């Protein structure tokens, strides 16, 4: 099972970026497949990991000598660990117009992005690689099972390519994340309280962010909660979906919603031990919503596009779970985890259509749900859970 290679939708994108930029950077969560993608797409490059203490020491002490070992370029893993390299890379690529010479990866977005912004602006084609999407799993010939099994298993490649139970792998992932990534970030000094904070975040998946409440429940200040949330964002554990601000003469909610990039990780943090338990869990709706938004984001990122995804809610409680903005097109999507559709599932979409004056056709919105059928109802597309990526 370990020999399975799951082809990534982003591979074509990263290869094309390498034709127009001297450096390409792949960011994303730890274990999302960044190294595998880089080595598969750029098999002719040398490979070096800065997680190796010898390599990172050499690069930090003598960056010029370190890079001189790779005159034809290289894949440099976890580049943000040695920020001294960025200015030296700038000098090398500015003196040579060879495209796609270096491939950088990083699992802490702020460190890598900061280095790119400060030293390599305009020289780097960037791609964010999130865990697998439904089409990638299906194209690999894997039997993904029903919706609750998919949510429980999550989307990290190792869960699908190794002979390991999801709960075992996620336990190890959480431990590694806390001991290696979090300890390297100065914002976290109390690992036990931080672990409680992560679990509290999982319990608020799909909800409006209330940092003060999370801080109180974790026993830390509002400022500490804010810093810790930034750590979770920086390491691609959670993301915030911002509200859609366009004014339709209604008071709008201005706080973001909190989501996890991976539902399997969220389920493990909630103490869920199998997909049958998830099916009955009170937070299943929030986990399903997290899955839906993440699948849409994966489509944007796999094509190196900025994610134009928001939610809309006014002060009267009218809401649409996703508002997808792509160019001039604005497309509302309501998300319901139920497998049977009720008429009131469309209330938010009806409200949106009335408010915006959108035409009554299959481009006026979609309902993504936990069932398996795809059709049109009341002028809205009804989309099964396994087609979320394609919305």
CATH number at residue 93: 3.40.50.300
pLDDT of the residue at 107: 80
Same domain, 326 and 347: yes
Average pLDDT in the chain: 90
Alpha-carbon distance of 70 to 142, in angstroms, equals 38
Predicted confidence (pLDDT) per residue in 206-257, tens digit: 999 999 999 999 999 999 999 899 889 988 999 999 999 775 556 667 899 9
Same domain, 234 and 346: yes
Same domain, 91 and 145: no
Predicted confidence (pLDDT) per residue in 96-145, tens digit: 878 999 999 988 665 666 666 666 777 899 999 999 999 999 999 998 99
The top-scoring range by mean pLDDT among 171-180, 183-192, 295-304 is 295-304
Q: b/e for 324-355, b at 16 or more Cβ within 10 A?
A: beeeeebbbbbbbbeeebeeebbebbbbbbee
Pairwise pLDDT comparison (304 vs 97), residue with the higher score: 304
Same domain, 79 and 138: no
Chain centroid to CA 225: how far? 21
| Confidence band for 205, pLDDT divided at 50, 70 and 90 | very high
Using only C-alpha atoms, the chain has a radius of gyration, in whole angstroms, of: 22
Question: pTM for the complete prediction?
Answer: 0.92
Average pLDDT over residues 334-361: 89
pLDDT of the residue at 182: 78
47 within domain boundaries: yes
DSSP string computed for 208-220: B--HHHHHHHHT-
Same domain, 171 and 98: no
Q: Is the pLDDT of residue 191 over 90?
A: no
Please, are residues 345 and 370 in contact by the beta-carbon 8 Å criterion? no
| Confidence band for 4, pLDDT divided at 50, 70 and 90 | confident
22 within domain boundaries: yes
| Confidence band for 329, pLDDT divided at 50, 70 and 90 | confident
Strands (E), the chain: 23-27, 46-49, 74-77, 102-106, 124-128, 238-241, 257-260, 309-313, 319-326, 329-336, 366-369, 375-377, 380-384
| Phi and psi angles of residue 26, each rounded to the nearest 5 degrees, phi first | -115, 115
1 within domain boundaries: no
Same domain, 148 and 42: no
Same domain, 88 and 145: no
5 within domain boundaries: no
209 within domain boundaries: yes
Among 128, 150, 180, the domain-final residue is 128
Same domain, 140 and 112: no
pLDDT of the residue at 97: 77
Measuring CA to CA, which residue among 210, 149, 124, 142 is closest to residue 1? Answer: 142
Same domain, 36 and 180: no
pLDDT of the residue at 249: 54
Same domain, 358 and 251: yes
Measuring CA to CA, which residue among 278, 288, 237 is closest to residue 107? Answer: 237
**What total number of domains does the chain contain?**
2
Among 128, 159, 177, the domain-final residue is 128
6 within domain boundaries: no
Q: Is the pLDDT of residue 266 over 70?
A: yes
62 within domain boundaries: yes
Question: What residue numbers bound the domain in which 89 lies?
Answer: 11-128
Same domain, 153 and 118: no
Q: Count CB-CB contacts under 10 A for residue 65.
A: 11
Q: Rounded to a whole number, what is the distance in angstroms from the first to the last CA of the chain?
A: 31
Please, are residues 378 and 352 in contact by the beta-carbon 8 Å criterion? no
Among 78, 109, 128, the domain-final residue is 128
Please, are residues 391 and 323 in contact by the beta-carbon 8 Å criterion? no
| Confidence band for 187, pLDDT divided at 50, 70 and 90 | low
Alpha-carbon distance of 270 to 292, in angstroms, equals 19
Q: Which residue has the tokens 């791609």?
A: 127
Same domain, 175 and 245: yes
């Amino acid at each position: 099972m370990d020999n399975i290679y799951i082809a990534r939708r982003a591979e074509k994108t990263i290869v094309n970026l390498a034709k127009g930029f001297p450096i390409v950077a792949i960011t994303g969560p730890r274990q999302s497949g960044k190294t595998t993608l880089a080595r598969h797409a750029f098999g002719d490059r040398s490979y070096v990991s800065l997680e190796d203490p010898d390599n990172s020491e050499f690069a930090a002490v003598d960056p010029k000598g370190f890079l001189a070992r790779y005159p034809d370029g290289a894949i440099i893993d976890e580049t943000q660990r040695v920020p001294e390299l960025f200015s030296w890379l700038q000098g090398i690529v500015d003196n040579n117009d060879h495209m796609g010479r270096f491939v950088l990866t990083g699992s802490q977005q702020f460190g890598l992005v900061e280095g790119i912004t400060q030293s390599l602006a305009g020289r780097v084609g960037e791609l964010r690689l999130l865990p697998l999407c439904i089409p990638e799993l299906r194209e690999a010939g894997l039997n993904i099972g029903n919706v609750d099994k998919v949510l429980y298993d999550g989307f990290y490649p190792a869960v699908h390519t190794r002979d390991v139970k999801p709960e075992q792998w996620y336990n190890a992932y959480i431990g590694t994340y806390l001991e290696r990534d979090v300890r390297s970030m100065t914002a976290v000094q109390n690992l036990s309280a931080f672990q409680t904070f992560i679990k509290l975040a999982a319990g608020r998946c799909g909800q409006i962010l209330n940092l003060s409440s999370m801080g109180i429940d974790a026993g830390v200040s509002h400022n500490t909660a804010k810093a810790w949330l930034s750590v979770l964002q920086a390491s691609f554990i959670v993301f915030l979906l911002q509200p859609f601000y366009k004014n339709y003469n209604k008071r709008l909610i201005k706080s973001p919603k909190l989501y996890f990039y991976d539902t399997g990780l969220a389920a493990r943090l909630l103490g869920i031990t199998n997909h049958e338990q998830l099916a009955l869990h009170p937070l299943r709706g929030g986990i399903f919503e997290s899955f839906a938004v993440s699948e849409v984001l994966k489509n944007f990122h796999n094509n190196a596009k900025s994610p134009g995804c928001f939610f809309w809610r006014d002060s009267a409680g009218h809401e649409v779970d996703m508002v997808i903005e792509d160019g001039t097109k604005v497309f509302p999507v309501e998300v319901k985890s139920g497998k049977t559709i009720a008429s009131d599932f469309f209330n938010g979409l009806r409200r949106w259509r009335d408010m915006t004056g959108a035409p009554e056709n299959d481009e006026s919105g979609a309902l993504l749900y936990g069932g398996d059928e795809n059709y049109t109802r009341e002028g809205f597309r009804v989309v099964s859970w396994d087609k979320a990526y394609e919305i």
